[in-house]
Chain A
Amino acid sequence: MNELITLQEVVLGIMLVLILVFLLIIAVLIYSFREFKIFSNQQTWKGLIDDQIMEVIVNGPGVPIKKDPGIQRWMRLGAFRRYFLGLLMESERKFAGTAVRALFGIFQLYDLEGEAYRLLRSNKPHLEARAIQALTVMEVREAMPQIKSKLTDKHPLVFQEAEYAMVRLEGFTGLSTFLDGLEHPISEWQQLRMLNSLTKIPTEGVAQLENWLQSTNRYVISFCLKIIRKFQLIQFHDQVQALLCHQDVKIQLEVVKTLLSIESDQTMAYLIQQFPQLPQEVQYEILKGIGYAREMAYADFVKVQLQEYPQDQGRVFAAESLMAIGEQDYLETASQQAQQDEAYLLILNHALQRKL
């Protein structure tokens, strides 16, 4: 019977793989050397660019910026231009006012705007995203149409940067270009960035916010609630209150936080009224909120929860809230009376932050 494969063939196969592995090692070593070279170059580049930035900032806005010959020599390298862009963006975070203007000047001088546009057209998501970041940070408003077109890009990296860019450059108006009818999720991180960039809400924005509160996308609702909280938009109190019955617990939590932030004189009463129907996490949030808000009027309610709440964690929050409200005496009296109930005593002592 003939063998399917002979030992010689196996050895030959192994030798072929061996040669391939050897060639791969060479290739990896060459690539590693190249990467190391880039890293080494970046140390040089950093020095050059930092010197240019410092020179421009120190000289001030009136002094014309001279191109550094060292930088000019490297400008032909794509890797250098991208690195330059990145350093400028990092520097923008560190400085403010005229220093930032100086950075814009450098951006223009070395035609990094052109580089950014090139990257935007590169069809590589990470480069497009970087381009959008650069154009945004450098406040190139002329790029808005191109950036806007990226709002519908299929790659999350790209459309998220585009969204952020819209908000950063156009504020609330920019937000409304994509938030209407938005279907994809907005992560907490993205919400954080956009919220950070929103500096004011225009009058006409109120109607849009009302629409967004009705969105089927819970992330839009959540974001909207954060906006209301940040800008203390008390006019939305009733609409927000209405969302307390939302099916999503996370939305309910946001609602409670928002209500406590824009509360009216009826807010707490409403929350207490709804308290029994609400999920446990939301109840905890309410109990904590009473403490943060120092709502002395509702001390009795909290005392009841301290006594009767089924979970110890809830009783802890109740006790902490009572402490925040100023019911220390009550707690101390209760602790003296509660010698038999070890868990209750512990809760009271915990809230009183009793030292042993």
Chain B
Amino acid sequence: MSEFVQLLSEIVIWLFLLYSAGIFSVYSWIAIFSYGAVTRYKQGNVFTDYSMIAKNPNAPGFSLIAPAYNEGKTIVENVRSLLSIYYHKLEIIIVNDGSKDDSMERLIEAYDLEKVSYFIAGNLMTKEVINVYKSSNPAFRKLIVVDKKNGGKADALNVGVNISKNEYIVCIDVDCIIEQDAILKLAKPFMEQTDKRLVACGGVIRLANNCKIENGKVTAVNLPKSWLGRSQALEYIRAFVLGRMAWSRASGLILISGAFGAFDKEIVLACGGYDHNTVGEDMELVVRMRRYMIEQDLPHRVINIPDPLCWTEVPEDKEVLKKQRNRWMRGTMETLWTHRKLMFNPKYGKLGMVSLPYWFFFEFLGPFVELCGYITFWIFVFLGIINWTFFIALYALVLLSSLLYSVYGILVDLVSRQVYSKRKDLTKLMVTAMLEPFYFHPLVVWAGVRGMIDFFLKKNGWGEMTRQGFSQEKDLPFAEQCKLFASFLLAHMGKMAITFMSFVSIISILEWFWYGKQFAKLKSSEALLVILSNNLLFASVLLLIITFLFALLSILGRSLSRNLIAALLALFLVGQAVLALYFSESKNLLGADLFYYSREELKTILAASGMLSIGNIALLFVAILLFYYPIAHSSQKLKTGVYVGLTVFILGIVSLGFLSLSGELRSAKQDDFLETAERSKLHFFLRSNVEDLIEQNDLSIFSSGADKSLVFANPDYPFLKDEQTADFLGPYLQKAEQAPNLVFLIIEGLGNAYSANSGYIGNFTPFLESLKDSSLVWENNLSSSGRTFSVLPTMLGSLPFGAKGFLEQETYPKHFNLINILGKNGFKTGFFYGGDASFDFMAKYLQAQGIDQLVDQGDYDDSYRKLPAGSGGSWGYEDQAVFAKMTKEPVAAQPYFHIGLTLSTHNPFLINDAALYERKFTKRLQELKLPAAAQAAALENKKQLTSVINLDEALKGFFENYKKRADFKHTIFIITGDHSMPEIPLESKIDRFHVPLLIYSPLLKEKKRFSKTVSHFDVAPSVLSYYKHNYNLQLPAQATWVGEGLSVGVGRPGFGIPMMQSKNQLIDFVFMDIHINAGKGYKLMGPLQEDPVDGTAAATALRNFERYQKANKQFIEEKRLVPDSLYHQYFNEAK
């Protein structure tokens, strides 16, 4: 990782740590300070006789102002509740802010209201007052009702201030339930003021949700039923009992809740009343009052008392809650902006130096910083730079600190007032504290962030805050609920489906266009139609499945489930695009094998391909967001009904049926590559993963059952057999004085298609072709896999695959292979590789087998050249370097077995001296005189074939240098490819595995070409048999070769040739002349051409495939190949 990224990541981490330390410190201070504040209040008021205030003519007067808008449902009972407040000098002013419902009519009727002429003394500018009402009933003489034109809450409050007669005003929400002695408790702090004027006083607000309310009074306190409500109960405890009390004690309180707060009217008027231009008018007023007092140099206080004076209903619907928090954030931002001059201004004392900065850094920036934290975390994960220990420790600390703060809040609440006094309520609160960080908190953080965005987008206003009233709603019948739910599901799913399918179509068209640029055969409109159809078919099936998921997730909440589904669909779209891109680069479908590479391996692959860059990752995020937002918003913006959703649902069922019965669509032209390219990549990926999951967990319900005909010679060791491989090589090689050296040259991605005259691309390995004239050549040789991971175990040990390739196993079972057998027979063994040998666990395997020498990228000095890095990292050292290393090995009397594995003919095919080899490619192309179609195909794969030419030249150089060695004459070279390049299109399904195999040596008596179909499984048995029969090498009596030897190949029934396309795909098998691929049979003819055959003809092959799979499965389960006694006996004797 570049130093710059490293430095940047450290800076980011430190910033987060500093911020966390800040929050931790502030909250610790709040916790400690609030406890003192609460206990001090309790100690000072525990035996206060409030009734003294109630009957005293000297007690201050209060005007209770309650704005009301469309509160018709509950306003009469709310006002009744207010009228029962126990205080002598009280007037209750209800301000009807232009309600559109029948609020006024209900009030007039209930309280015998009459319009009166009323002089409004106050001078605050407000919207027009239409009428003032007073009751003709003396019982309601305290009540004044004002009807005015709509102007918002702030405007309504200002009207109340103008009308009020008393020296103190209490501003409330009309639907709050006020405790009967609330005004008495509020009056005391105002009466206790001496030198410092008390300008505002708040109390604790508690939740009325689920409480028993009779005649406007809370008679039984219960926790809200929903987790959302309970989370808010906890939040209110923290906010009021801890936060407000601490700030109150520290004289830094700048917020008195708009739901209940008392103010000095004279100061409110002097400040100009509430500000209409903000949605956070409560906080803004307090800040302005404090500012005024400071500017006038008047000592003052703003306090909060911990008595619960007011009960309010909090939103238990997520949408309403989000709107509320959105508004709170906007209110905070508006206030901070309006009073920005005070920030860090020492003239304003604690207000400017402490309170406002706290609100700015922690209340305002908090949600944003947290969101940045989440984003930063994922970026770090994708870049692979996350230190999990640090992250987990920090995350655990955050969670526990949150829990501590909540639990502490509950404790202080217990100490102060014990509102929730039932044990089960306290327990529920504790549980809520544990769950809150995962559910409620992210919700309010997101709402806060949206509030920020809306602030900058200048979205003002309150939003619709639906209130249920304090009475409970009647539940609908179950059938009705189901109907409503189904309508909701189909309606929203339909809308999202339209957007989703549109995107799928666009991506499909882009996919076709991109493929067309690279491959001529994909330019046709037929290809477009097929690609589009396959993608849409699968998309329909996906939508069908997601509809059910949507239904399930709706239990968590409709809005949440909608957003989750939109995110999932966005991810699928990005997946579709990424997989299409992958195919265009690799010419291969990506399946579950993705998950069988280790993280390090994936990093290496991605880095080498140049995919792992900050730009690409950022692009990925942008793409996800670009897909997410239209899908998420389509469910709200598009005006479609239930029928669209129903259509989508039915389409999904039909598509599922179609795909199950006849599979994906294909072009008329039979072409394996075309067929693969036209498939839905996402479908393949997901299906491959599901099948792999089923296989891993043995979830298959259609088990084939044991076939009694599939018996093994040794049921305990199904692969074990007597070592009777014929000596096929002996007659072709002259006898040397001692066992000849053995050199394997395994060429990365060397396929027959471009390294043989019979190859359908053309022969781009002129040197290799010339070498064949002096070699034994098998023209129909098969590798054991479509990737490199199995070449070593296959060639060295003729080993079965196990679960995901032999090398993937945690520990390797004892077995015989070329390394340990030749090693025990006096050979020095060595492996030479230009890259990281730990890739695919090669080093692990070789070292476990006791290899004497392992050379990889760490063993090259500066005299060797690495392959170019491109935008990612370099794979390692060029083939020339690997060969040079092998050539420079000292000549010794002891025979050696060396394995060289090359690298340059691997994606991204970056080579040194690229220009030179491109010229050679062009020249070669001219020499070959290929037909037009073949020439076009060659040009389409120019980069790959250029690297092949480079490889061929490297081979040439290798042999030229090796010939100069004294031991060259006594060396046998076996040259092969590990698999055909997946990036070069296949003509048939077997082409993936068709690789050259030649044995070259100065000891050869004659050259020969063999057309028998053999495989890499046959090499080790034949080589060992040669050494045994000609040089008396000791071999074990029994072995576990999958192969039968080069003399046999598939010529007689054995295990056959199993082949893995990738680490999780064992779907290819050759038995005799039948090739099985994905359950279908193909007859092998000529130079590995094949034609499909019917089921009957393939039956034997299929059965033998099953036999192999059974043996392999037993190997996976039992983790053994040979008996320990055989193994130890051989190696002890061999000593």
Contacts and interface: CB of A to CB of B under 8 A. Distances in A.
Whether chain B is bound by chain A comes out as: yes
Interface of A: 7, 10-11, 14-15, 17-18, 21-22, 24-25, 28-29, 31-32, 35-36, 39, 86, 89-90, 93, 125-126, 129-130, 133, 157, 185-193, 195-196, 219, 226, 312-313, 316, 343, 346-347, 349-350, 352-356
B426 interface: yes
B119 A347 contact: yes
Contacts of B188: 189
B51 A93 contact: yes
Nearest to B136: A355
B418 A39 contact: yes
B53 interface: yes
A25 B400 contact: yes
Contacts of B967: none
A21 B404 contact: yes
Contacts of B131: 356
Contact of B414 (A25, A35, A192): A35
A130 B396 CA distance: 44
10 contacts: A11-B390, A15-B393, A18-B393, A21-B401, A28-B404, A32-B410, A93-B51, A125-B43, A347-B119, A355-B116
Interface stretch (B68-76, B192-200, B882-890): B192-200
B66 to A, nearest CB: 22
Nearest to A43: B421
Contacts of A193: 52
The 3 A-B residue pairs with the shortest CB-CB distance in the complex, in nearest-first order: A349-B117, A126-B43, A185-B194
A156 B418 CA distance: 27
Contact of A28 (B46, B118, B408, B418): B408
Interface in B109-136: 114-119, 121, 131, 134
Interface string B388-407: 01100110110011011001
Contacts of B58: 188, 191-192, 195, 226
A347 B115 CA distance: 15
Interface string B23-66: 01000000000000000100110110101110010111000000
A11 B389 contact: yes
B191 interface: yes
B465 interface: no
B415 interface: yes
A263 to B, nearest CB: 17
B411 interface: yes
A76 B56 CA distance: 40
Contacts of B426: 32, 36
Interface in B160-211: 188, 190-195
A140 to B, nearest CB: 16
Most buried by A among B40, B134, B195, B414: B414
B117 A354 contact: yes
Most buried by B among A17, A133, A195: A17
A276 B3 CA distance: 82
B709 interface: no
Contacts of B404: 21, 24-25, 28
A312 B121 CA distance: 7
Contacts of B118: 346, 350
A352 to B, nearest CB: 7
Contacts of B423: 36
A313 B403 CA distance: 55
Most buried by A among B49, B59, B60: B49
A188 B393 contact: no
Contact of B192 (A7, A10, A39, A187): A187
B972 to A, nearest CB: 53
Given A7-B387, A17-B397, A354-B117, A36 B52 contact: no
Interface string B686-705: 00000000000000000000
A188 B167 CA distance: 15
Given A86-B46, A219-B194, A356-B116, A14 B397 contact: yes
A356 B410 contact: no
B407 A25 contact: yes
Contacts of B549: none
B482 interface: no
A36 B423 CA distance: 8
B117 A7 contact: no
B390 A126 contact: no
A90 B47 contact: yes
Contacts of B192: 187-190
Interface of B: 17, 24, 40, 43-44, 46-47, 49, 51-53, 56, 58-60, 114-119, 121, 131, 134, 188, 190-195, 387, 389-390, 393-394, 396-397, 400-401, 403-404, 407-408, 410-411, 414-415, 418, 421, 423, 426
Given A22-B400, A219-B194, A192 B53 contact: yes
Given A18-B393, A189-B191, A29 B52 contact: no
Most buried by B among A189, A192, A354: A189
B167 to A, nearest CB: 10
A18 B426 CA distance: 24
Given A10-B17, A32-B411, 20 more contacts: A15-B393, A18-B393, A21-B400, A24-B404, A31-B411, A35-B411, A36-B414, A130-B43, A130-B46, A130-B47, A185-B195, A187-B192, A187-B193, A191-B58, A192-B58, A192-B59, A312-B121, A313-B121, A346-B117, A354-B117
B193 A133 contact: no
Contacts of A133: 47
Nearest to A42: B418
Contacts of A35: 411, 414-415
A29 B400 CA distance: 13
Contacts of B52: 192-193, 196
A343 B52 CA distance: 40
A100 B1122 CA distance: 100
Contacts of B195: 185
A327 to B, nearest CB: 17
A356 B147 CA distance: 14
Most buried by B among A24, A90, A349: A24
Contacts of A39: 414, 418, 421
Most buried by A among B24, B47, B51, B400: B47
A28 B411 contact: yes
A191 B414 CA distance: 32
B407 A32 contact: yes
B47 A11 contact: no
Contacts of A185: 194-195
B47 A86 contact: yes
B765 to A, nearest CB: 50
Nearest to A39: B418
Contacts of B415: 35
A350 B46 contact: no
Contacts of A192: 52-53, 56, 58-59, 191
A193 B414 CA distance: 30
A347 B414 CA distance: 52
B47 A29 contact: no
Contact of A316 (B46, B119, B389, B394): B119
B418 A157 contact: no
A355 B43 CA distance: 50
A126 to B, nearest CB: 3
Contacts of B389: 11
A90 B59 CA distance: 22
Contact of B117 (A31, A129, A190, A356): A356
Contacts of B114: 355-356
A7 B408 contact: no
Nearest to A335: B117
Contacts of B59: 192
B717 to A, nearest CB: 49
Given A316-B121, A355-B115, A187 B403 contact: no
A170 B53 CA distance: 22
A90 B51 CA distance: 12
Contacts of B46: 86, 130
A226 B40 CA distance: 30
Contacts of B393: 11, 14-15, 18
